[in-house]
Each structure stands twice: as C-alpha cells, then as structure tokens.
Amino acid sequence: MKKIQILGTGCPKCHALTANAEQAVNELGIEAVIEKVDKIQDIMKFGVMITPALAVDGQVKSAGKVLTPEAIKKFLA
C-alpha cells in the first residue's frame, strides 16, 4: 500500500493537491493512505521550503505546485 503525504498548512493549493491525489488513487484503483502533514516542523523535516508538496512513501516528488491527477499517477505507477 502506498503512503501519500500532502505537505502544506491548509491553503487552497494544498486542498487542490489533496483532491487530485485522491482522484489519482481512485482512477488507478490502488490502495493508498493519504496523509496531510500541516505542521511547519514536520514539513521542514522533509526539506521542503515551498508548499504544497507531495511525498510518496516518504520521498518528496514535487514541491511548490499543484500536480494534476495524471502527473500524480506517474509517481504511483
């Protein structure tokens, strides 16, 4: 099972990235846990300076942009 983490403090872009990640998981039909990381200290542990960011299985895949569901699927395949 994949672990997807959305790093961000809750801004509209963070919510959009979360929705896109959920859509990507549903379209792929895979099992995944989507976790929101919203504490600055926890976000900084990933080395991320700009949000929103997407991490898959503990590795940051993108920072500073809202990925489309299609882009997220590439990280999950």
Q: Is 44 a catalytic residue?
A: no
Catalytic pick from 7, 14, 37, 72?
Answer: 14
Q: Is 14 a catalytic residue?
A: yes
For residues 17-51, b (16+ Cβ closer than 10 Å) or e, as one string?
A: bbebbbebbeeeeeebeeebbeeeeebeebebeeb
Catalytic pick from 9, 11, 40, 64?
Answer: 11
Residue numbers annotated as active site: 11, 14
